[in-house]
Amino acid sequence: MQAARRGDGHVSAAAEPRQAEVIERVHETRDLFTLRLRLTEPAARAAYRFAPGQFNMLYLPGIGGVPISIASDPDDPTTLDHTIRAVGRVTRVLAGLGHGDRLGLRGPYGRGWPLAAAEGHDLVVLTGGLGCAPVVAAIDYAVARRERFGRLAILQGVKHAADLLWRPRYDAWAALPDTEVRLAADEPDRHWPDHVGLVTDLLGEVRFDPGATFALLCGPEPMMLAGARRLIALGVPDTHIWLSLERGFQCGVGHCGHCQLGPWFVCRDGPVFRFADIRWLLGTPGF
């Protein structure tokens, strides 16, 4: 099962991107959108594989590149979803792309979620904001192999209720057996159906066996640190808590040095890390 690998990152550093085309641009929220991309060369498309948690470098000729995690089903790597916040100089141009537009794509890069190791365990997926994007492929993977995993708890937090994306997906996952979906908003609107406050508050309200759980965390680092500490307090070993980090990825293969976190090249050694390995340094200002 190729998709269970964490990714080997053996993509050449200076290899030029391949052409991709926009199949669809999906408006998600006020500042989030999804680009559904397809590599235009059939051979490249057929050869492309990715592991949940890996990312691509999207590249606009003459403008530059930006790392974006792959948010679509790893069992269909011919179509690659990239959910993006239009906030920087590259992403704001990406936001203007539509059907048929062409751009460059390099990847996939990095090491993804430890899904093979997580089989036979309960899964807790704890995400904040756009942190849900790097785990959605992992959820898709687990849902497609539902029998291999125990209980599944999906917890997503947003700042404003209006920031929640993929409501239909959460509804669909909530309908699966042994699956709980809980949503939290710091600033709810009148229709907010679930928790008001921090998403980490919800860890005590969902069912999982702490001694037989893998936790996948993605979102702002303070939120992940709080979540990891809460999970440990609940009895989840720190070796079973995995975090997806972001740094200034440029090359994607641990050469350009921009993504270093202490001894790690986050693009190559991560972006998914085991909390036990990085907890001594994560959260230290300046790293």
Partner 1 sequence: MTTPPKPPFADPAPHQRRPRLAVHKFSSCDGCQLALLNAGEGLLAVAAHFDIVHFAEAGVVDEAAEADIALVEGSISTPDERERIRAVREHSRWVIPIGACATAGGPQAHRNLAHAESWLASAYPQPEHVTALPTATAISAHVPVELELPGCPVSTAQVLTALTSLLAGASPRPEQDKVCLECKRRGQVCVLVAKGAPCLGPVTVTGCGALCPGLGRDCYGCYGPAENPEVATLARRFRDLGLDADAVARRFAYQNIGAAPFTQAVRDWRRPAVGHGDGDD
Partner 2 sequence: MTEAHCLPRARLQALFDRLGERGFRCIGPQVRDGAIVYDDLSDASALPVGIGTHQAPGRYRLEHYAHARCFAWSNGPQALKPLLFAPEEPLWQVTRGADGRVTFASIERPAQRRAVIGVRACDLAALTLHDAHFLGAAADPGYAARRAELFIVAVDCSHPADTCFCASTGDGPAVTGGADLTLTELDAGFLVRGLTDAGRSLMDALPLLPASSDDLRLAKAEIEHAATSQRRQLPGRNLRDVLFANLDHPRWDDVAERCLACGNCVAVCPTCFCYTEREDAALDGSHSTHLRLWDTCYSAEHSYLHGRLLRANTRTRYRQWLTHKLGGWHDQYGRSGCVGCGRCIAWCPTGIDITAEAAALCKPPAAETDT
Torsions phi, psi for 71 (to 5 deg): -110, 20
Contact 54, 5 (CB under 8 A): no
CA 200 to chain centre: 18
Which residue of 63, 172, 196, 281 would you call a contact of partner 1, by CB under 8 A?
Answer: 63
Q: Which is nearer to partner 1, 154 or 259 (CB)?
A: 259
Q: Quote the least distance from Cβ 154 to partner 2, whole Å.
A: 24
Least separation, in Å, of the C-beta of 59 and partner 1?
Answer: 13
Task: Report if residue 66 touches partner 1, rule: CB under 8 A.
Answer: no
Binds 286: which of partner 2, partner 1, none (CB < 5-8 Å by kind): partner 2
Residue 93 interacts, among partner 2, partner 1, none and using kind-specific CB cut-offs from 5 to 8 Å, with partner 1
> Within 73-132, which residues bind partner 1 (CB under 8 A)?
87-90, 92-93, 96, 98
Question: Residue 97 corresponds to which tokens in the numbers above?
Answer: 């792309």
According to the binding rule CB under 8 A, does residue 143 interact with partner 1? no
Residue 240 Rama label (left phi>0; alpha psi -120 to 50; beta): alpha
136, 80 contact by CB (below 8 A): no
Distance of CA 181 to the CA centre of its chain: 17
Our separate counts of H helices and E strands in the chain read: 8, 15
How many residues does this entry show for the chain?
A: 287
Residue 255 binds: one of partner 2, partner 1, none (C-beta under 5 to 8 A by kind): partner 2
Chain residues that interact with partner 2, rule: CB under 8 A: 8-19, 59, 61-65, 87-88, 100-104, 246-248, 250-251, 253-258, 260, 262-265, 268, 280-281, 284-287
Binding partner selected for residue 96 from partner 2, partner 1, none, CB under the kind-specific 5 to 8 Å limit = partner 1
User: Taking CB within 5 to 8 Å according to partner kind, which of partner 2, partner 1, none is near residue 98?
Assistant: partner 1
Q: CB nearer to partner 2: give 53 or 65.
A: 65
Beta bridge partners of 218: 127, 244
Structure tokens at 26: 């999906």
Say how many C-beta atoms besides its own lie within 10 A of residue 195's C-beta.
17
Partners of 243 in the beta sheet? 217, 273
Tokens coding 120: 């036979």
Grouping H, G, I as helix, E, B as strand and the rest as coil, residue 137 is helix
Q: Minimal distance in Å, beta carbon 99 to partner 1?
A: 11
Phi, psi of 196 (to 5 degrees): -110, 120
Contact partner at residue 11 from partner 1, partner 2, none, CB < 5 to 8 Å by partner kind: partner 2
Q: Which is nearer to partner 1, 159 or 195 (CB)?
A: 159
Nearest in space to 59 (alpha carbons), one of 28, 83, 93: 93
Q: Which does 250 bind (CB under 5 to 8 A by kind): partner 1, partner 2, none?
A: partner 2
For residues 184 to 223, the per-residue mask of contacts with partner 1, x marking binding by CB under 8 A and - elsewhere, is ----------------------------------------
Q: Which residues bind partner 1 (CB under 8 A)?
A: 60, 62-64, 87-90, 92-93, 96, 98
